Structure 1
Amino acid sequence: MRDTISMVRNLDKHLVDNLYVEAMVLADEARSFFDQRADEHRVLLDNRGRVDFACEALKATTRLMHVIAWLLTQRAILNGELPRHAREEEAHRLGLAAPTDSTVTQQFRQDMATLIVASEDLYDRVARLERQLLGRIQDVAPAPPPSPARDLMARLERAL
């Protein structure tokens, strides 16, 4: 049983660490894109398209920040820096992120659309992992009641 728990924790740590690296790489790609190539995209859009572009840029970066914050929290839990029950607290849950309407992304060039889809995909995978981790907490059966014999022995030891 203990080996199984250890294996699951190691797998969780591996998943969280890999997702964290992926999130940081994607965040760096997004930063680079918005710093260097966003203007050339915006000039090709009409006024409505520019507003859509700004909104979708905010949505993508918000998704990434929610993911990174959640993954950092999970790393802290797995490293013993936060208690396991912190995972259930609302403050440590994955923040909600607005989805992107696929018809909106059709007006953008491929690299912007790819960035949006990648942020949604990463967010969806992390949300699925969060549901699985929280589901494990709920699936944990309560400890069986102590056996009457052990209870009697404990009372006898206390009485002596």
Structure 2
Amino acid sequence: MTNPAFGGTTLAARLVDALYTEAMLLADETRGYFDDAGQIERDALPPRLRVEFACEALKATTRLMQVIGWLLMRKAVHAGELPEGSGTADNRRLGEAPPLDPAVVTRLPHAARRLLANGEDLYQRVRRMDEGIEAPAAEPTASPALSLLHRLERSL
């Protein structure tokens, strides 16, 4: 599935590649934060908020792994390793991710809030792509000007 107009790949494949790179960088940054600096910030929080911090961190990593898995599947489809229609099977769709808890997130350190928001944003963008793969193409709406032109042609 190559298109010479786009350097030998389709625009969709290039978008998946870019999102995959973004997801891997964000996953690495998130892992680094929650393993290192985040631990120091977490330890300074009250006990209940520490637990909530850990729950949001688990949600973040789950969300990112779902995104990475979906993007890897799309990369395989674009590379011809999987048949084109296989990406629309229910077991190949983007998994549901638990939503962020805004009441908790607002009380977390700034770096954690930023990473959680970036992960949620990436997940929502990929989710829209996943939903759009099976969405039927919208019927083009008739142009009023074109309709008038056709009526004029018929009247002559």
TM range (shorter): 0.7 to 0.9
Give CA-to-partner distance per residue, 1:121-147, whole Å, 9 cap, x none.
000000011111121xx449xxxxxxx
Give CA-to-partner distance per residue, 1:93-134, whole Å, 9 cap, x none.
101101102221111110000000000000000001111112
Partner in structure 2 of residue 48 of structure 1: 48
The separation in 2 between residues aligned to 1:11 and 1:130, in whole angstroms, is: 15
Amino acid at match of 2:113: A
Partner in structure 2 of residue 25 of structure 1: 25
Partner in structure 2 of residue 95 of structure 1: 95
CA contact (8 A) 1:77 1:83 kept: yes
SS in 1 for 2:97: coil
User: Greater helix percent: which structure?
Assistant: 1
Which 5+ residue runs of structure 2 have no aligned equivalent?
A: 139-156
Give CA-to-partner distance per residue, 1:65-95, whole Å, 9 cap, x none.
0000000000000111001111111221101
CA contact (8 A) 1:23 1:67 kept: yes
Percent of paired sites with the same residue: 44
TM-score (norm 1): 0.78
| Bigger Rg over Cα | 1
Give CA-to-partner distance per residue, 1:45-77, whole Å, 9 cap, x none.
112101110100000000100000000000000
CA contact (8 A) 1:87 1:93 kept: yes
Partner in structure 2 of residue 115 of structure 1: 115
Amino acid at match of 1:61: T
Partner in structure 1 of residue 149 of structure 2: none
CA contact (8 A) 2:88 2:133 kept: no
The separation in 2 between residues aligned to 1:59 and 1:65, in whole angstroms, is: 10
Would you say how many aligned residue pairs link Structure 1 and Structure 2?
134
Q: How many angstroms does 1:36 deviate by? A: 1.1
Amino acid at match of 2:106: Q
The separation in 2 between residues aligned to 1:31 and 1:100, in whole angstroms, is: 17
SS in 2 for 1:80: coil
CA contact (8 A) 1:87 1:134 kept: no
Extract structure 1 runs of 4+ deviating beyond 2 A.
Answer: none
CA contact (8 A) 1:59 1:97 kept: yes
TM-score (norm 2): 0.80
